[in-house]
Amino acid sequence: MKPVTIHSLHDKLVKGEISAVELTEKFIARKDRLEPTVKAFLSDNRGFALEAAALTDKKIAAGEAIADFAGIPGAIKDNICVKGQQVTCASKMLASYRSPYDATVIEKLNALDYVSLGKTNMDEFAMGSSTENSAFQVTTNPWNAKYVPGGSSGGSAAAVAAGEVVWSLGSDTGGSVRQPAAYCGVVGLKPTYGLVSRYGLIAFASSLDQIGCFTNDVEDCAVMLNAIAGYDKKDSTSVPQGAKDYKKALVNDVKGMKIGIPEEFFGEGLDTECRKILDDAIETYKKLGAQIITVKMPNMKYGLAAYYIIAPAEASSNLGRYDGVGFGMRVPGKDIVDMYCKTRSEGFGPEVKRRILLGTYVLSAGYYDAYYLR
């Protein structure tokens, strides 16, 4: 199936070349055919999808203007809250949990008549880079089922790459949108921190988490960013700013544009084939008139080490709420401490446990100053 775009399908809907219900039914049929192999989805939401599509058709028939992606099937990563729907974070801990509220990004999409076919698979609590750490299933790469789709937003990336949906939402803490987008050959965007509200995104590492999107081209990413970006008083890290049209940033002419190439990104460990592709891209930009400037980012060498202190520390704190008391899974014990221990032992998978332990260690007395504070 040739990749399709939000903007091309929007034109067809407006011109009456296809109805939103017909479009949704086609993608449902494709999803049903491919899911046994791809395994991108953790839930099916076709009832809601068809109702939303019918609403879009009704607006078109009445001559009303519709949003850029109204009636066009998409998917939502299963750590983003949708009222009345499961939000498991691909963890046994939240296997039976349904959200009582909508995330801010879902409120925004609701206002624009979005269509979602379901929630997508991920590494448990967004901790991983392959979507093999899900408690429920392993998602495969649509291009080759023997390969992983990347992670943690692997389900969202695979769903778009397989043509099961046209767009999807994911989250990115340390590459969880960008890396699976690269693995699956689609466009992935991690917005600048604070641009998109995190309210309703179940936390991994709060100072790094950000909701992003997957599409088949850059214009569609601009469409999605227009839909989900904006200040939200419910998120204390949201940046106050006026509305922008990110489609206006799309230009074909890069003449005079300055592109910085960090020296540190071209050192030891860079795959030879990847290096050639990057060099070819740089040469293409030079021919188009862009200025290529070599820059130094000397602190980049500390990036991975800093991530593996900050992210696990914040994960340790954020995941402390899953104790079998307030919500989520509970395993009975002989007393409350035993119940805590059994619930967390059985509810969390190995990768989540590793990160909680590491985070608890760097936050502990005697090590806080030496690691986290630095």
Q: Which of 39, 77, 108, 190 is catalytic?
A: 77
CA distance 336 to 313: 25
Which residues pair with residue 75 across a beta bridge? 168
Burial of 155 (0-12, 13-18, 19+ CB in 10 A): buried
CA distance 221 to 217: 7
Global pTM? Answer: 0.94
Which run of H or of E encompasses 74?
strand 73-77
152 included as an active-site residue? yes
Q: Which of 99, 134, 176, 197 is catalytic?
A: 176
Q: How confident is the model at residue 219 (pLDDT cuts 50, 70, 90)?
A: very high
pLDDT at site 178: 97
Chain centre to alpha carbon of residue 155: 9
In sign, the C-alpha dihedral spanning 233, 328, 134, 26 is negative
Q: How far are the Cα atoms of 132, 174, 175 from residue 127, in angstroms, in the given order?
A: 10, 9, 11
Cβ pair 152, 126 in contact under 8 A = yes
Contacts 24+ apart (CB under 8 A), 56-63: 56/13, 56/20, 56/113, 56/115, 57/19, 57/20, 57/21, 59/113, 60/13, 60/14, 60/16, 60/19, 60/20
Instruction: Identify residue 246 by its one-letter amino acid code.
Output: Y
Average pLDDT of span 285-296:
96
176 included as an active-site residue? yes
Q: How confident is the model at residue 209 (pLDDT cuts 50, 70, 90)?
A: very high
In this structure, whether the domain defined by 6-249 belongs to CATH 3.90.1300.10 is answered with: yes
pLDDT at site 365: 87
Asked if residue 366 has pLDDT above 90, the reply is no
User: How do residues 220-250 score in pLDDT, each as one tens digit?
Assistant: 999 999 999 999 999 999 999 888 999 999 9
Single out the residue of 153, 87, 148 nearest to residue 118, CA to CA: 87
Q: Which of 19, 152, 171, 238 is catalytic?
A: 152
Q: Pull the structure tokens for residue 301.
A: 């060498």
Break the chain into its structural domains and give their ranges: 6-249, 258-299, 303-363
pLDDT at site 49: 97
Chain centre to alpha carbon of residue 256: 33
pLDDT at site 1: 62
